[in-house]
Structure 1
């Protein structure tokens, strides 16, 4: 039984570039040099690696550059294996399946200023947005890059640094800057975003706790530990398109229950931070535990890897 096809696009690795200590920048293109599916600034794609792993990465190039995808990967020796596979096994000419791009930061007319706070390789999701905003006259932005000493993607950031759009803060010289001073005052036309180590994100979330949720965006590399609900009760998933009903045991994830029922669901982080397993819901009362959906999106979608249910029956758009 299959609820929906999982769409992937075949790409070929056309370039591999050293972009800093332990960081490689991979260029992916269509094998026949056709344009790739369009994407928003700061969007993500899932890489379906030859060893069977699926990993999510931010697109670093601007949307107008639609003949290729840039992704940056830092080799994590103690990670889950995806970065090691890319660094150690992937070569120019290799074929990699990628998902259709999803997500990305909004650049709507109501936002007149963006402030990005990035720690080290956390600059990757903001490279695309910064390059895009450089071409936009009516939107101001500043990117604060916090590093110990070395600047990642130095060659790619140089034009932005020269244009005074990127401010580099070296902690080896002056320690970490005060995030509140970087973010500034809350305003309805200002969007603030952060990506970096968990300690930085924690401080950023404290600084922006009083901001409207729609004006704060956080990107994470690592999913937080799963939430264990000692009072979890079993519930029923009803699949609207097929009429199938699937029982979710107490403490079981929706994802596990759906997979046991033979339903194909795209997955990557399995921790509510990548968006790969987003599914629409129609009826019921979901419990949202992800770190990616906006309040508006939660009215229509959930992440089956971490979401729960406060109702005995939850109807999904599957």
Structure 2
């Protein structure tokens, strides 16, 4: 059976910069210095590391800076190995395959105000967004950065702090700020977004639960525990492009069923938070369990790592 091709772009590491305690900035460029595929502010890329790991990182630079991809990586000693490999093994001149960028800030025509809330290294996607909005001359945003004491990526954030675009909240000095006060009142012209530790993102979701879903964006560091459905039933996956029928066992993920049949799917978090395994669906009734797709996107796509089916048959655009 023909595997689904995974599109990657070859890049070369041209810069590695110390950017705070345990944080490094990596600059990736095209080997021939061509422009790289375009991206939205705060988009993500998957790095296909030489050791076989695939890991997702937010882009720190803005779309107008289209000759390079810049990512910030905090070394996590107890993580899944991607950050350790980047910090300890990757050198200038190394070649790394990256995915096409995905996600990022969609600036709706009616959005007049942005409020970003970041915890520590969770500031990375918002650095890209802030730079983009400043370049556009858009003053209607504020980035609240919550840290224990030290500001990550300080060299890059200081100009924004001095300009009043970034407000730093140091919990070691004044405790954690009230998130409801930071985001303010819900409004059709306000978009709010959060990236940080699980406790922060959970609180943020509670604070914004009554907001229009399209106006709230949350990014997570770690995928939540998988949802175990005791009433899960087997179903059939139909691949529209080939006519292949694949049986998904009760309790089995679509991803596992596809991989068993040799269908190659890009993966990273395997928990519905990174967007790597997004696949279009055409017929049936998916059960969405991801934390990344918007209500509009769920009408067309699902994440095969966590999605299920509410019926006996689901047709995928594969």
Question: Which residue of structure 1 lines up, in the alignment, with residue 128 of structure 2?
Answer: 128
Structure 1 alignment gaps of length 5 or more: none
CA drift of 1:3 comes to 4.8
Asked whether the 8 Å contact 1:120–1:152 carries over to 2, the reply is yes
Q: Which residue of 2 aligns with 1:160?
A: 160
Query: Structure 1 residue runs of 4+, over 4 Å off?
Result: none
Q: Provide the rounded CA distance (Å) in 2 between the counterparts of 1:210 and 1:94.
A: 47
Question: What root-mean-square deviation, in Å, do the aligned CA atoms of Structure 1 and Structure 2 show?
Answer: 0.8
1:281 — aligned with what? Answer: 281
1:225 is aligned to: 225
Q: TM-score, normalised by structure 1?
A: 0.99
SS at match of 1:132: helix
Instruction: Provide the C-alpha distance between the structure 2 equivalents of 1:267 and 1:9, rounded to a whole number of angstroms.
Output: 16
Whole-angstrom distance in 1 between the partners of 2:2 and 2:267? 15
3-state SS, counterpart of residue 282 of structure 1: strand
Deviation of residue 264 (structure 1)? 1.0
- Cα displacement (A) at 1:186: 0.3
Q: Show structure 2 runs of 5+ residues with no match.
A: none
1:245-277 Cα shifts (integer Å, max 9, x gaps):
000000000000001111111111100000010
- Residue 32 (structure 1) shift: 1.0
CA deviation profile, 1:172-218 (whole Å, cap 9, x unmatched):
11111111110000000000000111111111111111101110000
For 1:67-82, what aligned pairs fall within 5 Å after superposition?
67-82=67-82
TM-score of the aligned structures, taking structure 2 as reference length: 0.99
* 1:204 counterpart SS class: helix
Is 1:244 matched up with 2:244?
Answer: yes
Q: Distance in 2 between matches of 1:138 and 1:205?
A: 26
- Return the offset for 1:137: 3.0
Q: Measure, in 1, the Cα distance between the counterparts of 2:158 and 2:235.
A: 53
Corresponding position of 2:30: 30
1:96 maps to which residue? 96
After superposition, residues 32-47 of structure 1 pair within 5 angstroms as: 32-47=32-47
Q: Is the 8 A contact 1:60 1:72 kept in 2?
A: yes
Tell me the alpha carbon deviations over residues 263-297 of structure 1, each in whole angstroms, 9 at most, x when there is no partner.
11111110000001000001101000000000110
Contact preservation (8 Å) 1:111, 1:139: no
Instruction: Provide the rounded CA distance (Å) in 1 between the counterparts of 2:305 and 2:280.
Output: 13
Secondary structure class of the residue paired with 2:252: coil
Kindly tell me the number of residue pairs found equivalent between the two proteins: 318
Deviations 1:83-126, CA, capped at 9 Å, x for gaps: 00000000111000000001111112111110000010010111
